[in-house]
Amino acid sequence: MKQTFNKISDTVSAFFSLVFSSSVQRAAAQTKLTHHIVALNKKSSSMEIINEVSECLKDILGYRLFAFVVKKEAGVDVWLDPRMYKTSLEDIILKDFKIQSPEDLNYLNHSFEPDEHQEKFTLDTLVHYDLKEENCYARLYMLPQKGMTAFHDEVVRLILQGCATALSKQIKIENLKDAAVIDPLTGCYNRREFENQLHRHAASASRYKNNLSLFMFDLDHFKKVNDTHGHLGGDQVLKEVTMLIQENMRRGDILARYGGEEFIAILPETDKVKAMELADRLRIKIAALRIPFNGSTIRVTASFGVSELLPNTDTSRLIEDADTMLYKAKLNGRNTVMPGLIKVCAPDASPKADQRDFSRI
């Protein structure tokens, strides 16, 4: 790391010696750039690193960072300058990074209003720079307010050289942290991290008076799956079911492996009714899943228990309530959600599926 920084520092010094005839100008510009590059390597998150790049561009060139897009193993992070608009760049990012859906983009720092004015432009009006490291690929998009000279271009490249070193180091740190909190088989959080996340989300929900619900589920008769198809077959089922659940949850929802074939999910800003509706949709999808393994097809069902954070309820009670509901779901025949959805019909009507109404207990 020190060797890389010294190399960048030497390049900065040589470059500014060529650009500025005045030693005062040269020293001032070099000090600014060196300060920002040093600051980059002191940041403790990708977000902080990108913010520092933005400040550096503004400080030295008078330009504002338009967008910084980072592709990592976990997905694609997008940082947008607050003055700019989401729709203007989204199509370009999807095309450049070969992404199918906008839902696969993780916006780090921007909220978007439905009535925002959308400023249209194409890639031809943008200047972009690529950053490639062994563990990430990034692209900086800029919409210059004045022409890009050779001086501007070289300064940006020097900034990105320092950013690449800092970002690569930070991603390695993040990957190590992820390895400590991720269940290696299913790719969702482990129980310890679930408890950390639950405490944070419960505290936030209580502070801001937001809803918070949990659902807990496990796979019915899972021992029979292992006995019939072996533990490799059981592992395949756990991976397929986890993938299905994650694909049908919101980005902000949190899924964790609680133990064995038992899973638990945190649903922020979700009341009990919505949580039960989600659990029932997932139950149906799991029952419809066909998992090929060693020339055969494995089918499973799941039972769900749902609970909601109430005033004066702590996280232990929240988990206990979900666990109790899961136990009741097992007693009620499995492949069900508790509290459950029951059909309500007129006294003289039969409970036809296409005429049903729903009530919760």
- Active centre residues (catalytic): 261
Q: How far is C-alpha 172 from the chain's CA centre?
A: 17
68, 193 Cβ separation under 8 angstroms: no
Number of H-type helices and E-type strands within the chain:
9, 14
Query: Rounded to an integer, what distance in angstroms lies between the CA atom of residue 272 and that of residue 270?
Result: 7
Query: Rounded to an integer, what distance in angstroms lies between the CA atom of residue 154 and that of residue 177?
Result: 35
Please give the structure tokens belonging to residue 126: 């943008």
DSSP letter at 159 equals H
Query: Rounded to an integer, what distance in angstroms lies between the CA atom of residue 31 and that of residue 149?
Result: 21
Please give the structure tokens belonging to residue 293: 């393994």
Closest CA to 139 of 167, 104, 111, 172: 167
Degrees (nearest 5) of the Cα angle 204, 205, 207? 65
Q: 118: exposed, middle or buried (C-beta count within 10 Å: 0-12, 13-18, 19+)?
A: exposed
22, 139 Cβ separation under 8 angstroms: no
